[in-house]
């Protein structure tokens, strides 16, 4: 992939991200769950946009989650972990922010893992 193609791909993702984010907002009752994928790690945050605070987060960088790989199985486990952390904080419903990514593969696996843990979207 050339530099021009990579820049175009990132630019298009940013446009999708802004298009989705203008309609999604997290509140204290229904915070926003956002996903970020790097080439090596996965990150999930649950954010209350009104207060500007992160309620819970999980990533494959954490010592307890280092064994999770960046694949579908690992994404499902990460989704379950964030679901458990949200249940501990008495959060049952979130708004899912796919962060400009297509809703398939790893992003879908994270959402399904959170659903499996009892979180509603």
> What is d(CA 92, CA 50) in angstroms, rounded to the nearest whole number?
18
Fold of 3-116: Nucleotidyltransferase; domain 5 (3.30.420)
**What is the model's pTM?**
0.90
Return the domain boundaries, the chain. 3-116
Q: What is the pLDDT of residues 65-99, one digit of tens each?
A: 999 999 999 999 999 999 999 999 999 999 999 99
Q: What is the DSSP string of 8-68?
A: HHHHHHHHHHHHHHTT----SSSPEEEEEE-SS-EEEEEEETTTTEEEEEEETTSGGGTT-
- Rg for the chain (alpha carbons), in Å? 14
Q: Which two tokens stand for residue 63?
A: 């010592």
CB 33 within 8 A of CB 44: yes
Q: What is the pLDDT of residues 47-56, one digit of tens each?
A: 999 999 999 9
């Amino acid at each position: 992939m050339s530099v021009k193609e990579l820049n175009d791909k990132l630019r298009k993702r940013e446009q999708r991200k802004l298009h989705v984010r203008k309609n999604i907002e997290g509140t204290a009752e229904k915070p926003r769950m956002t996903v970020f994928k790097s080439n090596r790690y996965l990150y999930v945050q649950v954010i209350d946009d009104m207060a500007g605070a992160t309620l819970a987060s999980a990533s494959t960088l954490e010592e307890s989650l280092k064994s999770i790989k960046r694949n579908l199985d690992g994404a499902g486990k990460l989704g379950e972990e964030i679901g458990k952390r949200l249940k501990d904080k008495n959060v049952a419903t979130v708004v899912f922010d796919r962060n400009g990514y297509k809703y398939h593969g790893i992003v879908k696996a994270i959402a399904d893992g959170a659903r499996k843990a009892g979180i509603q979207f």
